[in-house]
Amino acid sequence: MLKKVILYIFSFVLLFTSIGNAKDVFGIGIYMGAQHDVGNLNSYNPYIQIDPQNNLLLGFACKVNYLYFFGKTGVETTFLINRGEVEENSDEIEYVKIDYTSIPIFAGMSFPILSSAEFYMGGGFAYFLGRGEIKSSSSFYEDEIDTTAFGIGFILGISYIFPSSIRCYFEWKYLDGRSDQISQTQSSYNWQNYYVDFTGHRIFIGIMYYLI
């Protein structure tokens, strides 16, 4: 009997939430953010001293809500703030400059906070198209970076509901993804050892307008 009561209550909550949020089903928006330590130079040698690269991120997003579930995708691209430089203790890499465009796809669960906000969390993946330059210690010239990668990760976010179907949201993403080896950073090597590491934390703030 208790199980039936709990099931009925849970079903009612789902139905009530779906009716209350029927106008907030499909939204489009724009966002901006930043990523610290782009390229993760310490992943090649944890003992080197680096000045980490920082990137500005801009993106366009689409989000679909249904009951307690959501799906989100879009396109985001980065712009260099400062390149990543090795300050000491490396005989392989001097500096890197990495920009990329990514297509993230996430899905998960969302939870209403009273009637004015929403918390959501989930997992997903992203496809990266990377570009830039790497300067190795053994070369007089920069090598061009042009590569792709596939990554997986997590998303957490909270959005505040304004009138007229507008929401402002704050979001954190963590993605883990690396390209194949694309460059030889030391003349004594007879193999390519450098890969572009897209792994990292990303913080965003954005605005979304719900069409439906």
Contact by Cβ (8 Å): 115, 68:
no
The residue ranges of the chain whose pLDDT is under 70 are 1-23, 89, 138, 187-191
For residue range 1-59, what is the model confidence (pLDDT) as tens digits?
A: 544 434 433 443 444 444 444 457 999 999 999 999 999 988 877 888 899 999 999 99
| Helical segments of 38-176, H only | none
- Residue 23's pLDDT is what? 55
DSSP character for 47? Answer: T
- Residue 8's pLDDT is what? 39
**Burial status of residue 195 (CB atoms within 10 A of its CB: 0-12, 13-18, 19 or more):** middle
Q: Round to whole Å and give the CA distance between 206 and 194.
A: 34
> Which residues are CB-neighbours of 57 under 8 A, at least 6 positions away?
32, 33, 34, 35, 76, 77, 78, 79, 202, 204
- Residue 104's pLDDT is what? 97
Contact by Cβ (8 Å): 54, 36:
yes
Residue 55: alpha-carbon gap to chain centroid: 12
pTM (predicted TM-score): 0.82
Sign, CA dihedral 164-74-151-42, equals negative
- Residue 188's pLDDT is what? 67
Q: Round to whole Å and give the CA distance between 211 and 23.
A: 8
Residue 133 CB: number of other CB atoms within 10 A?
15
| CA distances (Å), origin 60, targets 56, 63, 73, 75 | 14, 10, 9, 5
| CA distances (Å), origin 26, targets 23, 29, 61, 166 | 8, 10, 11, 12
> Which residues are CB-neighbours of 9 under 8 A, at least 6 positions away?
none
- Give the residue carrying structure tokens 């194949």: 180
- Residue 14's pLDDT is what? 45
